[in-house]
Amino acid sequence: MEVKDQLSQTKDFLTIGEWTYETIQSVLEQAHYLKDMQQKQIPHPYLEGKVLGMIFEKASTRTRVSFEAGMFQLGGSALYLNSDDLQLGRGETVEDTAKVISRYVDVVMIRTFSHEMIETFAGSATVPVINGLTDLHHPTQVMADLMTIEEQKGPLQSVKVAYIGDGNNMAHSLIEAASTMGMELCVATPPGYEPHEEVMNALSNDYVSVTHDPLLAVQNADVVMTDVWASMGQEDLQEEREGVFASYQVNEALCSAAKEDFIFMHCLPAHREEEVSSGIMDGPHSIVFDQAENRLHVHKAILHYLLKEI
């Protein structure tokens, strides 16, 4: 089989916007099923003999541990590949690295800065590629968020989510998820920090709105969500952003406008008393650690979906 034929049959997960409603719902259902299997301690080695290669250019806690543990629980194995230890860090092209690694492993997960890099890698790889995070998108995290919202609030179509903070990769993947799944989403950001226009323009945004007023966004919300004000690679902007985002802290006063039974979510790590008060982070509405756990189950479901017919 020629490489171009292999490529045409390869499934990837680079953005949520690339997946249909049916695909997302199917993966979420599988994630709930796999979580139930795990809790009942029922073995589920569906990917026995498969190998996951994990390339990291950004540091990680949840992404690395959940993918590695998940692949082990599915009967396969995972390889941690730091970009500094690869020839990729010494000038080998992304395309050449993708072609070589594709001959060793069955699936690749990449956590990196440039979204263009992961698109280039996937374009040359002959195995499925998963976006573990780029500066533009964070689809694996948002899939876990959708799973968690379903657990706590039921069908996504009946839920209002308020996202407060930077129009970053989390906001972009949430926007794509809301647009595809029919979930109401209101994003509140300071002026000049809105989500990228190309993300907004590429979708039918009947379910998505953007405002500069966090109180308006939180009004009657079922879910209140935030993220750090300065993402990895933006550490030099931390002090500047603390001033810009000061009125966008998720705290008790802001959340008083949400529904009485709202839930608070954060992709972690959280900076208490910056983007979220300790009272909300550690309070009765917070489900951040349930949300973090679901990274494991949804990552297993994504791996199963990408590899089950290979």
Residues at the binding site for carbamoyl phosphate are: 60-63, 87, 111, 138-141, 267-268, 295
The two tokens of residue 165 are: 């903070």
Overall residue count recorded for the chain in this entry: 310
- Tell me whether residue 186 is one of the annotated catalytic residues: no
Q: Do residues 44 and 36 lie in contact, with contact meaning Cβ atoms separated by under 8 Å?
A: no
Please name the amino acid found at residue 274.
Answer: E
DSSP state of 252: H
* Listed residue (206, 204, 225, 222) closest to 214, CA to CA: 225
Closest CA to 146 of 297, 303, 307, 308: 297
Catalytic residue list contains 145? no
- Residue 124 phi, psi (nearest 5): -105, -15
On whether the CB atoms of residues 32 and 147 are closer than 8 A, the answer is yes
Catalytic residue among 106, 135, 137, 138: 138
Binding-site annotation, residues:
60-63, 87, 111, 138-141, 169, 227, 231-232, 267-268, 295
| Annotation marks residue 138 as catalytic | yes
299 is catalytic: no
Contact 166, 229 (CB under 8 A): yes
Q: Residues annotated in the binding site for L-ornithine, as ranges?
A: 169, 227, 231-232
Catalytic residue check, 272? no
**Which among 207, 221, 277, 206 is positioned nearest to 248, based on CA atoms?**
277
| 44 carries an active-site annotation | no
Three-class secondary structure of residue 210 per DSSP: strand
- Taking CA 60 as the corner, what is the angle to CA 242 and CA 298, rounded to the nearest 5 degrees? 105
Contact 15, 173 (CB under 8 A): yes
The catalytically annotated residue of 30, 73, 141, 249 is 141
Q: Exactly one of 267, 285, 291, 297 is catalytic; which is it? A: 267
SS percent in the chain: helix, strand, coil, step 5: 45, 15, 35
The residues, ordered by sequence, that sit 6+ positions from 196 with a Cβ below 8 Å of its Cβ are: 136, 167, 172
Catalytic position from the list 12, 111, 166, 172 = 111
**Which residues participate in catalysis according to the annotation?**
111, 138, 141, 227, 267, 295
